[in-house]
Chain A
Amino acid sequence: MDTMIKQYIQQVFYSIRQQKLLSGITIGATALTICLIMFIVMLQQIRTMSFAPESNRDKTLYVRWGTVSTDGSLDNTSNGPMGVKVIDHLKAVLNEPEEITFLNYYPLPMSVSEPGSRKGMLADIKYTDDTYFRVFDFRFLEGEAFNKDQYDTKAQVAVVSKDIANKLFESTDVIGRTIEVNHTPYRIVGVVDNVSTITPWAYGQIWLSFNVDNFLWDVTSFSGPFSLAMKFKSSDQFGAARQEFDAAIAEYNKELAPYRLSFRNQPDDINTANERIWANISPDMKHIKFERLLTIMILLLIPAVNLGAMSQGLMRQRIAEIGVRRAFGSKQSSIILQLINENLILVLISGLLGFILSICMVLLFGSDFFASTTASMSTISMDQIDLMMLLQPQIFVLTLLFCFVLNLLSCGIPAWIACRRNIVYALHYK
């Protein structure tokens, strides 16, 4: 067996040397395909995989928007983030989630300054509660999150990002110091590492306890600035949680008549939450998944046809060789297997090259392409996240899978056709 593999490899390198340009084209085209598909998979992955501070994406359900209808029908509706009234009710009645928190998904830009200083700057503010810091997983450089006591007693406390601390105080050692947000003083209790907008649910530059600043919104209204994130012990609870959620809303609507709350198939898992762009339209996940699959199929189809046509041409040069081997008693299947194996080695080389290429692409263009669409109004630059975390073993396995598919499509068919030729014809073939 060992000698056979060695022989294959020798033969592959021999044919590479013989057909430098064609081997180059084959390897290059396959590597490009693999690189692009990997890139697409990574683009998707960064929006769904769990990493700090959104370390619990796989265990969290999201309710981004709510719909309120004034007459019970879905014709006269107002759609958008929810008011604190709805949030408080849900927090009180839902038992399945381990933690429930709320936040303004779109950060609010507000002026921030050192007390006494007249010079301010804009920072992205997230209003939330103490549970938030258990649903999301922030790395505290100094101090800690505000706690339930502080939230309940309306303490004017804030958690700030490293950027803000450095910008205002030129240090991260700022626990106990005061900042003014929108002309209201807040005591800093924690400093966290900068958060990228790629994690939009966690993104912010300053996190304030909502209880303090609730002057901004009418607390009696259904609509407001808030979305809901619910963390569970495991995703197995999602089914039960959705049932509980629907039942709770049905119960709540009895109280609210003639108003009616609805949530258009929410709560969402992270996959669906990412696609929920409009407040009044549910994403068609079947269609989205079909589109993704179609894109990859088309991207695979072109190189497969290309390589197929090329290996068909190359195969013609080997028909005589195949004829000789068959005349000496080789089985068709073993010849096809050898040809596929030879090609596989070539594809594996391309796969490795494609993998390296995609890493380069991530490193070079990553910040452009992985930028979140959640905007930050602040003038402070956003820190890069560690893109190398995208390079995970399962992606490599996926790459290998693509290699096999490409290989089978592009080499298997021409090899099969070549082997079916009449031996006499093959031997004669020039």
Chain B
Amino acid sequence: MIKNIFTQILNERKQNVYLLIELFIAGIVLWFLVDFMYIKVKTYQLATGFDIEDTYMLAMNRIPESSARFHPAHAETQKEDLQQMLKFLNTLPDVEAASISLLAQPYSRGNRIDRLNNVNDTTVSVSAQRTYISPEYFKVFAIKGANGETPEEMSAKFQLNGSKSFFTVANLLQRMKSGSKDVAAYLNTNFSSTNLGSEYYELTGIVTPLKYKDFDTHYPRYIFLPVSTELDNEAPEFLEWSLRVKSGKADAFINYFKTEIVGKYRQGNFMFSDIIPMSKNREIMMREDDLKFKNYLIGIGFLLLNIFLGILGIFWIRTQQRRSEIALHKALGASKVTVLKRLMLEGLVMLSIATICTLPFIYTIYVAEIPQSFYGVYLSFGRFASTVGITYLLMLVMIVVGIGIPAWRAMQIEPAEALHEE
């Protein structure tokens, strides 16, 4: 039967060429969108490395000197006051852990990039995002150690750090120009950075890879230094306050915080002014990406609908013009199912031919590195097979419906009637 169908397609090649061109172009465009979504979804599925459920950020205000409420006695005690506030937050009964940080809150927008060089191995030189944290940071965001250490263990380990030691992420050396390296090999060695002065900094801990944004792969840049050295230097407005509420206590705690702490609790010239779910940070950071994702979804929906309408229309015309052929088949004893099967098989063969024609083009597009990369890799067998397979299936569904509806209608006719129309 298949051989017979091939012959038939070949005989009708003039008419079929249009359909093939249509399927070919639609296939390539659809594949491009499928590939985009495939990578987006695959990246999205990678663990973020942190957990923002039940975490909140606090807004803090400094009472300025121009205010009548300013305490001159506390003008020089910024560091002590901030540390006291952190201690206070950590003693609240519903709080699991609270931390102060700089540029380290998940989904925070700012960045400060330094070049980090290993002192012993000159091939190790990498751009790093310098962040400052208090030890509880890992507990607040449930960040685990690279070897499976619990957040509590990582926090305890960080607590022991002196001001000249730092933690980093497991994928820090992944994107180096000189090639990828395992950072674990450099544990307990010294690093230097021009922006950190002439002193050496020891790498003392490694945590799991972390994401910068949900639709990105893990960000291979974070380094964590103790925030205690910065509490005096930094404008306190730029410090990030984060806390994790014990599970199930969130509503009660927010209520308590808003009524009992906001506007009432005061340490020196500092006051808390609001508590905001960390998810708000995510929402803000991800707004543009989410919007892009939504736009692509709309684009895909639009193209699918348009391709479907096109295929439906073309097969409608074809089937209309082949009513007598269908009637002839029926008159010669073919059942409705055999006729339908024959038409479907024909569509399937056409789609398969068109798909095979797209393969070299798709391969070329990958080799030219036009789509997005996944960890620097453009072409892999899994990606190629999955995206082409998904595209094929989507087209198949459209073809089956596009053929099925008009064919079914055409088959309802009496063979004698259709043949008589000739």
Residues of A within 8 A of B (CB): 21-22, 25-26, 28-29, 32-33, 36, 76, 106, 108-111, 113, 118-122, 182-184, 212-213, 215-217, 298-299, 301-303, 305-310, 312-314, 316-317, 368-369, 371, 373, 375, 377, 379
Chain A residues whose C-beta falls within 8 Å of the C-beta of B348 in the assembled complex = none
Are A314 and B194 interface neighbours, CB within 8 A? no
Interface of A is mostly: helix
Given contacts A33-B306, A301-B25, A302-B307, contact A25 B312 (CB under 8 A): yes
Measured between beta carbons, the chain A residues less than 8 angstroms from B29 are: 298, 301-302
B273: chain A residues at CB < 8 Å are 110-111, 120, 122
| Structural contact, A119 and B321, CB atoms closer than 8 A | no
Are A305 and B302 in contact, CB atoms less than 8 angstroms apart?
A: no
Contacts of B400 in A (CB 8 A): none
A314 to B302 Cα, complex, angstroms? 24
Pick from B21, B235, B263: contact of A309, CB under 8 Å: B21
Taking A22-B313, A307-B310, A377-B59 as known contacts, 19 extra A-B pairs with beta carbons closer than 8 A to each other, sorted by chain A number, are A76-B194, A111-B61, A111-B271, A122-B276, A183-B61, A183-B64, A215-B65, A217-B235, A302-B310, A305-B22, A306-B310, A309-B22, A310-B310, A310-B317, A313-B313, A313-B317, A313-B321, A316-B321, A369-B291
CA distance A299 to B30 in the complex (A): 11
B363 at the interface (CB under 8 A from A): no
Q: Closest Cβ of chain B: how far from A75's Cβ, in Å?
A: 9
A303 and B310 CA atoms in complex are apart in Å by 8
* Cα–Cα distance between A309 and B24 once the two chains are bound (Å): 12
Q: Is the interface of B mostly helix, strand, loop or mixed?
A: helix
B88 at the interface (CB under 8 A from A): no
B318 neighbours in A (Cβ, 8 Å):
313
- B66 interface contact, C-beta 8 A: yes
Per a CB cutoff under 8 Å, which of B15, B26, B63, B313 touches A183?
B63
Contact call B276/A377, Cβ cutoff below 8 A: yes
Nearest neighbor of B283 in chain A, beta-carbon distance = A375
Bound complex: CA A232 to CA B45 (Å): 49
Min CB–CB distance A246 → chain B (angstroms): 27
Best-surrounded residue of B19, B109, B264, B309 (most CB of chain A within 10 A): B309
A379 contacts across to B, CB distance below 8 A: 274, 276
Which of the residues A119, A212, A305 comes within 8 Å of B310, measured between beta carbons? A305
Q: How far is the CA of A51 from the CA of B150 in the complex (A)?
A: 53
Cα(A122)–Cα(B258), bound, Å: 12
Among B114-137, those with CB < 8 Å from A are: none
Least CB distance from B234 to A in Å reads: 12
Residues of B near A310 (CB, < 8 A) are 310, 313-314, 317
Q: Which residues of B contact A29 (CB under 8 A)?
A: 306, 309-310, 313
Among B19, B61, B64, B291, contact of A215 (Cβ-Cβ < 8 Å): B64
> A111: which B residues are within 8 A, CB to CB?
59, 61, 271, 273-274
Q: A182 contacts which of B64, B276, B291, B321 (Cβ < 8 Å)? A: B64
Q: Which of B298-318 contact A (CB under 8 A)?
A: 298-299, 302-303, 305-307, 309-310, 312-314, 316-318
Q: Are B69 and A183 in contact (CB-based, < 8 A)?
A: yes
Contact present for B294 and A118 (CB under 8 Å) = no
Is the Cβ of A22 less than 8 Å from the Cβ of B274? no
Min CB gap A27→B, angstroms: 10
Complex interface residues of chain B between 89 and 118 (CB less than 8 A to chain A): 109
B250-278 interface bits toward A, Cβ cutoff 8 Å, 1 = contact, 0 = none: 00000000000011100000010110100
Closest chain B CB from A143 CB (angstroms): 23
Binding site for A on B (CB under 8 A): 15, 18-19, 21-22, 25-26, 29, 59, 61-67, 69, 109, 194-195, 235, 237, 262-264, 271, 273-274, 276, 280, 283-284, 287-288, 291, 294-295, 298-299, 302-303, 305-307, 309-310, 312-314, 316-318, 321
Partner of B262, one of A120, A184, A301: A120
Instruction: Return B310 CB to nearest CB of chain A, in Å.
Output: 3
Contacting residues, chain A, for B109 (C-beta < 8 A): 106
* CA of A111 to CA of B284, assembled, Å: 19
* Best-surrounded residue of A113, A212, A298, A302 (most CB of chain B within 10 A): A302
Contact A216 B294 (CB under 8 A): no
Shortest distance from the beta carbon of A279 to any chain B beta carbon, whole Å: 9
| B303 & A306 in contact (Cβ 8 Å cutoff) | no
Q: Which of A25, A76, A110, A302 contacts B313 (CB 8 A)?
A: A25
A32 touches B61 (CB 8 A): no
B67 touches A183 (CB 8 A): yes
Whether the Cβ atoms of B313 and A371 lie closer than 8 Å is no
Contacts of B313 in A (CB 8 A): 21-22, 25-26, 29, 306, 309-310, 313
* Interfacial chain B residues near A308, Cβ < 8 Å: 18
Contact of A312 with B18 in the complex, beta carbons under 8 Å? yes
A134 vs B194: C-alpha distance when bound (angstroms): 44
Point out the residues of chain B lying under 8 angstroms from A302, CB to CB: 25-26, 29, 303, 306-307, 310
> When the two chains form their complex, are residues B302 and A32 in contact, meaning their CB atoms are under 8 A apart?
yes
A368 touches which of B26, B294, B307 (Cβ 8 Å): B294
Which of B65, B274, B306, B316 touches A303 (beta carbons < 8 Å)?
A: B306
CA distance A111 to B67 in the complex (A): 14
Known: A119-B263, A184-B67, A302-B29. A373 touches B302 (CB 8 A): no
A216, chain B: closest CB distance, angstroms = 6
The 9 tightest CB contacts between A and B, nearest first, are A306-B310, A111-B273, A313-B317, A375-B284, A118-B263, A373-B288, A25-B313, A310-B313, A183-B67
Closest partner residue, chain B, to A112 (CB atom) = B273
| Residues on the B chain within 8 Å of A303, using CB | 306, 310
Q: Nearest chain-A residue to B235 (Cβ)?
A: A216
Please report the C-alpha to C-alpha distance between residue A215 and residue B303 in the assembled complex, in whole angstroms. 55
Complex CA–CA separation, A195 to B50 (angstroms) = 35
- Residue contact B18 to A309, C-beta cutoff 8 Å: yes
Please state if B61 and A309 are interface contacts (CB–CB under 8 Å): no
Q: What are 24 A-B residue pairs whose CB atoms fall within 8 Å in the complex? A: A25-B313, A26-B313, A29-B310, A36-B302, A108-B237, A109-B59, A121-B274, A122-B59, A182-B62, A182-B63, A215-B65, A216-B235, A302-B26, A302-B29, A305-B21, A305-B25, A306-B26, A306-B306, A306-B313, A309-B313, A313-B15, A371-B287, A373-B288, A379-B274
Cα distance A121–B275 in the bound complex, in angstroms: 10
Residues of B within 8 A of A182 (CB): 61-64
Cβ contacts under 8 Å, B298 to chain A: 36
Within the complex, the shortest CB–CB distance from A17 to chain B, in Å, comes to 16
Interchain CA distance A384-B276 in the complex, whole Å: 23
Most buried by A among B65, B287, B310: B310
> Within 8 Å CB of A122, what residues of B?
59, 273-274, 276
Contacts of A369 in B (CB 8 A): 291, 294-295
Give B18's nearest chain A residue, CB to CB. A309
Q: Which residues of A contact B284 (CB under 8 A)?
A: 375, 377
Q: Which residues of B contact A109 (CB under 8 A)?
A: 59, 274
A377 to B237, CA, bound (A): 15
Residues of A near B276 (CB, < 8 A) are 122, 377, 379
A184 to chain B, nearest CB (A): 5
The answer to whether A305 and B309 have CB atoms under 8 Å apart is no
Residues of B within 8 A of A309 (CB): 18-19, 21-22, 310, 313-314
CB of A12, distance to nearest CB on chain B (Å): 17
Q: Which residues does chain B contribute within 8 Å of A217, judged by CB atoms?
A: 235
Q: Tell whether, in the assembled complex, residue A215 and residue B306 are in contact, meaning their CB atoms are under 8 Å apart.
A: no
Given A119-B263, A369-B294, also A184-B26 (CB < 8 A):
no
Least CB distance from B321 to A in Å reads 7
* Closest B residue to A121 using CB positions: B274
Task: Indicate if the CB atoms of B22 and A375 lie closer than 8 Å.
Answer: no
Residues of chain B within 8 A of A118, CB atoms compared: 263-264
